[in-house]
Structure 1
């Protein structure tokens, strides 16, 4: 037995060498690839009703991603802002109004990208029932306005009031999530619903409502891509790559509107026509974080401060990060 065990010392040595070689190769592979993977932790993304995930998936931009992406979904902007502030997500989409609302409350967040939407008569709008006696912004005095606190709908209502010399205190605000606001308008417990697409497209197609005040001229059409400060420090490569993917995905969606609308309808359960209408008019595209965006956010912040919604001065430029401005 002993003789047999020592019968082929050269072969045994060769086997040991091969084993050591394989181990060295495995170690080298770990150093080359494993450490890269470890250096690319997951990017946690939030959007309303999985809208960004649906977009990226439809455009094929979730294929061959060199880092994991974890998606979270919320019904409105406020929970997204809260998740960003708490560090529960790294990046998410917010309108300029909820962004200001969150940043002014101390959330450690910055705008790292911007999606420009075409502002149509119904992209953001204040809606009333067809038989409402209200005919314009001047009629908002004393009316019950339902919207989501800190949302773009809230901003529009304030901007509309101020456009005719009124203030937020001149109307009665009822702050609810969109589905609840819609119900209040329908059952007569609210006089006006201030909201945004796709809700505006949905109720317009259903009939029974009309636009009292449009966001045209009052809303700049910026959707902000917002990251928290820790993610900007620790995940800049993922953020930069993610923004480029979004850029390409929006371009694809604009070129394939019907195909994309069908995919959206499959997720939302809304009629295809709702998404087709929204996509046909909005034509979103990525733009750089620049002076026009800073000016728009500053305008929103100034309005909020004058209305007593935020109480301290707000420097919009301090909450902008232009280091991800590479736009394809």
Structure 2
């Protein structure tokens, strides 16, 4: 499984969703609460601020609960445990299904070193200590970049840290490189002593995938569809209102507007179905993570793509 950045890519514990179980031929009752795991990035922040999902579910009397995570792996754990109904991350697993995706990302994820570092290329990372979130999209970026440089993950010294710990480690020199996503990347760049070795666009463009538990998606397809449509509405708005997106991000993250403006300007907003191109990318990631032992068995990503029932 891979997660997104930031993103992306999770999150929670049982929050009392109030899921009702129908018996016999009775119709499945709607849940009282729809639980969404998220990270404070991009279109997710816009959707939450504008209540695009809430507005679609309000007529059914369904409340939306948003649960924040710092990174993707914890979010996925919460989804797998049944503590969430819907999440934003990249993953593939037996209990989770892909219900939608964002467009391929831009340059909002990168491998960085200090400006004065003797490390000039990805190949120079050999033998160096690199901070990266285990199982995140940044982990995927690091492995892919190393492979393109003729190296493997065993050629570096990974320091598996979440951003809250990796940032200080990078700042004080405890690690020599950092693989990170926005807004942490933008914050590091703002220090004027950071140099980029490669970005996700240059190495391995990624997408945010929207996930749901298979049981929930099959039981409540209308709710899942409404959530994806709400995200698509927010993405369309964000694409032409980047200043407002930056302000929204600055408000919820505490990151200065000028920095979040740079993040918004280099983010590609768009939400749609899981296309063949995205499937191929995610399958390559799944295969790579299986080789690394992060996924215990080989998987076929296509098997985890959810198809809404025809109405």
TM over 0.5: yes
Matched, 1:296 2:291: no
TM-score (norm 1): 0.80
Query: Aligned partners of 2:124 and 2:40: how far apart in 1?
Result: 34
2:180 to 187, 191, 195: 195
Taking a change above 3 Å as real, the CA distance of residues 43 and 63 of structure 1, as seen in their structure-2 partners, is: same
Taking a change above 3 Å as real, the CA distance of residues 186 and 294 of structure 1, as seen in their structure-2 partners, is: same
Q: 1:68 corresponds to which residue?
A: 63
2:96 to 96, 103, 109: 109
TM-score (norm 2): 0.84
Moved more, 47-56 or 220-229: 47-56
Matched, 1:140 2:125: yes
The structure with the larger Rg is 1
Moved more, 207-216 or 58-67: 58-67
Q: How many residues align structurally?
A: 282
Matched, 1:286 2:268: no
Gaps of 5+ in 2: 1-25
**Contact 2:105/2:201 (CA < 8 Å) preserved in 1?**
no
Q: Deviations over 1:17-45 (max 9, x none)?
A: xxxxxxxxxxxxxxxxxx99953532110
User: 1:50 deviation in Å?
Assistant: 7.8
Matched, 1:45 2:30: no
Taking a change above 3 Å as real, the CA distance of residues 88 and 148 of structure 1, as seen in their structure-2 partners, is: same
Query: Aligned partners of 2:64 and 2:113: how far apart in 1?
Result: 40
Q: 2:47 corresponds to which residue?
A: 56
Q: Deviations over 1:35-61 (max 9, x none)?
A: 999535321101014866631243352
Query: Aligned partners of 1:325 and 1:249: how far apart in 2?
Result: 25
**Contact 1:40/1:238 (CA < 8 Å) preserved in 2?**
no
User: 1:218 deviation in Å?
Assistant: 2.4
Q: Deviations over 1:51-97 (max 9, x none)?
A: 666312433523463321111111111111011000000111113xx
Query: Aligned partners of 2:215 and 2:268: how far apart in 1?
Result: 32
RMSD: 2.3
Any residues of structure 2 matched to 1:1-328 within 5 Å, and which? 38-49=29-40, 54-61=45-52, 62-63=54-55, 65-66=58-59, 67-95=62-90, 99-100=91-92, 103=93, 108-120=95-107, 123-323=108-308
Tell me the secondary structure at the aligned position of residue 322 of structure 1: coil
Q: Deviations over 1:138-178 (max 9, x none)?
A: 11111101111000111111111111211111111111111
Query: Aligned partners of 1:82 and 1:260: how far apart in 2?
Result: 29
Taking a change above 3 Å as real, the CA distance of residues 240 and 172 of structure 1, as seen in their structure-2 partners, is: same
Taking a change above 3 Å as real, the CA distance of residues 254 and 55 of structure 1, as seen in their structure-2 partners, is: same
Moved more, 154-163 or 111-120: 111-120
Query: Aligned partners of 1:81 and 1:171: how far apart in 2?
Result: 27
Query: Aligned partners of 1:288 and 1:270: how far apart in 2?
Result: 31
Q: 1:28 corresponds to which residue?
A: none
Query: Aligned partners of 2:119 and 2:71: how far apart in 1?
Result: 28
Moved more, 288-297 or 126-135: 288-297
Gaps of 5+ in 1: 1-34
Taking a change above 3 Å as real, the CA distance of residues 324 and 139 of structure 1, as seen in their structure-2 partners, is: farther
Taking a change above 3 Å as real, the CA distance of residues 130 and 244 of structure 1, as seen in their structure-2 partners, is: same
Query: Aligned partners of 1:127 and 1:296: how far apart in 2?
Result: 23
Tell me the secondary structure at the aligned position of residue 308 of structure 2: helix
User: 1:137 deviation in Å?
Assistant: 1.1
